[in-house]
Amino acid sequence: MPKVTEAHLEARRKQILDAAGACFSQKGFHQTTMQDICAQAELSPGAVYRYFSAKEEIIAAMVDERRREGIALIQAVKRERHDTLDVLDEIAEVFFNRLEDVQGCAVDIELWSESQSNRRVKELMRRDASDVTEAFTAIIQHAQKHGEVNPDLDPLAVAQVMNSSFYGLILQKSLDTDIEIGPYVQAIKAMMGGTFWLKGARKGA
């Protein structure tokens, strides 16, 4: 019988990851020292190393955590909505709302950077991106089959453009918090509502 419950272990891990997230978003991965994380988590180095064998493991765990969250969000939406438009609208809603988590966005950007030089992180990030892209692609294809979307467009490319609208806003907001999400989303919908949606498939947009 383990001396501490599974729940305790998991709570400690989360405590450390939260602390790390706070640090990473402020100073970046490589500017954050283990001592920073320890201080933020109010834990000793020895304790932290019991849960993560190296700093790199914390980074990897962080990618994984954010990846899982993203997938879960999409799954949840898909489970609840069935109409293509509704799914897209809801996903947009959910993901754009995620932008309010400034710290999370900063960590994401940090991960983009990390993935440039860190094989392991890159692979995780790539998988994450391609999962989302695939989900979008499937939605587009489904819509094309049902005559809702212009069948001449490459659904993969469309998915990538949709991805970009998230990624790009994360970056722009990080540089200028004042950017308003509302008009941005409206602009996107207007642009997609044109050629994208055949005839009047969409009403207001």
Tell me which stretch binds its own copies (CB under 8 A): 50-58, 70-78, 80-88, 106-114: 106-114
Let me know: does 72 contact 78? Beta carbons within 8 Å.
no
Structure tokens, 180: 């308003």
Q: In Å, what is the CA distance from 199 to each residue of 152, 158, 186?
A: 15, 18, 19
Phi, psi of 149 (to 5 degrees): -125, 145
Nearest to 88 by CA among 30, 42, 138, 122: 138
Contact between 39 and DNA by CB under 7 A: the answer reads: no
Q: Count the alpha carbons within 13 Å of 13 in the hemisphere toward its beta carbon.
A: 16
Contact 199, 146 (CB under 8 A): no
**139 lies in the site for DNA, by CB under 7 A:** no
In whole angstroms, the minimum distance from the beta carbon of 103 to DNA comes to 19
- Is position 117 an interface residue for DNA (rule: CB under 7 A)? no
Decide whether 106 or 158 has the Cβ nearer to DNA: 106
Long-range contacts of 87-94 (CB under 8 A, 24+ apart): 87/139, 88/139, 92/185, 92/188
Q: Which does 116 bind (CB under 5 to 8 A by kind): its own copies, DNA, none?
A: its own copies
Kindly state whether residue 150 participates in binding its own copies, applying the rule CB under 8 A. yes
Give the interface size with DNA as a residue count (CB under 7 A). Answer: 23
The CA distance from 61 to 150, in Å, is 40
Residue 49 touching DNA (CB under 7 A): yes
Q: Which is nearer to its own copies, 80 or 147 (CB)?
A: 147
Choose, by CB under 7 A, the member of 7, 46, 82, 199 that binds DNA.
46
The residues binding its own copies (CB under 8 A) are: 25-31, 106, 109-110, 112-117, 122, 125-126, 129-130, 150, 152-154, 156-158, 160-161, 163-169, 171-172, 174-176, 179-180, 183-184, 186-188, 190-197, 205
The residues binding DNA (CB under 7 A) are: 1-4, 8-9, 12, 31-35, 43-47, 49-50, 53-56
